[in-house]
Each structure stands twice: as structure tokens, then as C-alpha cells.
Chains A and B, each alone.
Chain A
Amino acid sequence: MVEPAVALFGEAYEKAARVLEELLRESGARYTLLLDRKGFVLVHKEALWAPKPPALDSLATLIAGNAAATQALARMLGEPRFNELLHQGSTHGLYVEEVGELALLVIVFDSSAPVGRVKLYGKRAAQALEGITQEAVVSPGTLGIDSEYREGASALLDELFGN
């Protein structure tokens, strides 16, 4: 892993999950996700009333790609960054806020949630999440990945891709 990885589990995971739950409640949004910049989902929450979300892996990848392209555009125009990303259709909206250097907060909402409210609580949540993700930055070596892990994974590779 070339970049520092954010590994959210245990208490950090619980904390981040609580921030997302509160964000859903306060903003009235449907879904919210915390992603790393590579497009991996770290935590996600869905409102109880919301319909089943689309494939989160795909959503996360497209948003991370989109955010990376947007930042590249900003730099080309001489801006250090564009602060937020907002897409709005007739019924659905998507709001993305940076969470420090390493993560992205995504909020999917519909017309029942005013965009102003989504942005307000989104920015607040992003701030709370920044500290949590910073504390969760680890080098993979400290995760307890060892040669036993490697052998186990290797066996699974054989199972999936054949010998």
C-alpha cells in the first residue's frame, strides 16, 4: 500500500457510524457513506424509510473517480481545490464533501431534504469525521497481517482462480 490506509474498525468505526446516523437524521437524506480516496467504502448508513440503495461499491468508485477528476480540474485552473461537489436532478441529489486528505463524505438525498440542510449538516459531519479518520490511519503492518494471513489468502486465490 503506497498511501497511508484508513482502517476503520472497533471504536473508530462505531464513532464514524454514529456521526453518519446523526447526519441522516438531521439532514433527512437517504444514504450516507464515508469513502477513502481510492474509492473503498469505510462506513455507510441508510435511512430506515429509504428504498434499497444501488451497489455501494460502484457508487463509491465513481464518486472517488469523479472527485479526483474534479480536483485535477481545479489544479489546472490554478485553484488548490474545489470545495464540494453537488449534483442535482429532478428528484435525487448527490453531495460530496472532502474529509481531510484521505476521505470523502457522500450524501444521497431526495426532494424531501432541502439541499441547504444537507450541505449544512454535511459540512458539520465532515469536520467530525476528519478527526476520526486521522486517528484511524495505519500502516498495514500494524493490522496483524502476517505470513499466516498470506498463506490463508493464497489458498483462497487458488480456490477462486484455480491451480
Chain B
Amino acid sequence: MSTINFAAREINFKIVYYGPGMSGKTTNLKWVFQQIPQNRKGEMVSLATEDERTLFFDFLPVDLGEVKGFKTRFHLYTVPGQVFYNASRKLILRGVDGIVFVADSAPNRLRANAESMRNLRENLAEYGIKLEDIPIVLQANKRDTPDALPVEMIQAVIDPEKRFPIFEAVATTGMGVFETLKAVSREVLSRVASS
């Protein structure tokens, strides 16, 4: 980990990867961790079960660099997607600045995608936040699945009003991973600058 000069001004953003169990949230973070140069990232922390399902969260700090005298950092988190971990999921949302919703393109996960989006809306509401109050980017992951559903169909269940940008991805090979992260980061930055 690089040393941090706290006398300098710092701006930190928290981005949370949300979505149903096994949709590829942790895989997104792993890819980012592998691809980012050493001096721009910290350690990746994963609190997972023995079979690699996220138990509490994954965490990866990414250093964007210095802008106008502000050291700018993104803290990336994933939540546990499995339904019964909702108490932990709610905690991770505290103080969130932007969300990546990772949907699974497999036909038998369509309903899980919809339920996870509803769960996100409910959990945000407990913090007094509405979906439209916060930058959200959608990712249709696992596009390499042989019977992957059309993106429009996935969008129709998680965002029927087409409010959020959607990206196609294959997180295992990195396709779409940076595009998604860049899009949400940009939106987060623009909200801060205009507030």
C-alpha cells in the first residue's frame, strides 16, 4: 500500500457492486484488481465462505491520482448476493456514492435479477435514498452463457423505464468490466461537482 499524505485534501468515493448471488460481482472486482497497476491499488480484502461466496463484502481501494490538489480515491465494494445475507448487504450500502448492478444473463436468473433490484430499492429506502437519487449503472454479465437472454429482456425486468445505462460484460475475461466502472465513476464525479 502506498503511503498517504493526509495533510493533502482527499476525496473518497464508495462504489458498491450489487446484484443477485453468483452474478459475477466478485469476479468484476478481481478483474479490476488484476489489471490495475500496483501503485494505483491497495490490497483486496474478501470476506467469503469456503466455497468463495461472499459472506460480508469484498473491498478494493483504487487510487485515481491527484486532481486540482485533491487526492481522489475510489473504494469498491461487493455485497453478498445470496438472499439470506440481507442484513450484511444493508450495512455495506451505508454511505454509498454509486452503484453497479450486476445482472446475470442466464434465463433461470431473470427473476433473481428482478428480486435483487427490488431488494436494492428497499435497502436504499431505509437510508432515505431513492434509486434515482444515486448514480446507478447496470451490467448484463455472463454474456458468454450459450442461452444468454437478450439485454433488452434483462433491462425490461430490472429497469423497465430505461433510466440507467446498461453495459454487456463477461467478467471472467474482463469484457465490459472497465467500461462499467468508468461509467459509474464518471456519474459519481459529476454529481459531486454539481452539488
Residues in A lying within 8 Å of B, measured CB to CB: 1-3, 7-9, 13, 17, 36-44, 55-58, 61-62, 65, 68-69, 72, 139-141, 143-150, 152-154, 156-162
- Cross-chain contact A58 with B42 (CB below 8 angstroms): yes
Q: Would you list the 5 A-B pairs with minimal beta carbon distance, nearest first?
A: A38-B95, A152-B67, A150-B193, A161-B178, A68-B91
Q: In whole angstroms, what is the CA distance A160 to B90 when docked? A: 30
Give the nearest-CB partner of A141 in chain B. Answer: B195
Q: In whole angstroms, what is the CA distance A156 to B67 when docked? A: 8
- Cross-chain contact A1 with B97 (CB below 8 angstroms): yes
Residues in B lying within 8 Å of A, measured CB to CB: 1, 4, 6-12, 14, 36, 40, 42-43, 45, 47, 56-57, 59, 61-62, 64-65, 67-68, 70, 72, 75, 87-88, 90-92, 94-97, 127, 129, 133-134, 178-179, 181-182, 185-186, 189-190, 192-193, 195
- Cross-chain contact A149 with B70 (CB below 8 angstroms): yes
Q: In whole angstroms, what is the CA distance A114 to B92 when docked? A: 34
Instruction: Determine which of A56, A69, A150 lies in contact with B189 in the assembled complex, contact meaning CB atoms within 8 Å.
Output: A150
- Cross-chain contact B91 with A65 (CB below 8 angstroms): yes
Give 18 A-B pairs besides A3-B95, A65-B56, A69-B56 with Cβ atoms closer than 8 angstroms.
A3-B94, A7-B10, A13-B6, A37-B95, A56-B4, A57-B43, A57-B61, A57-B75, A65-B91, A140-B192, A145-B193, A146-B193, A149-B70, A153-B64, A153-B67, A157-B64, A157-B185, A162-B178
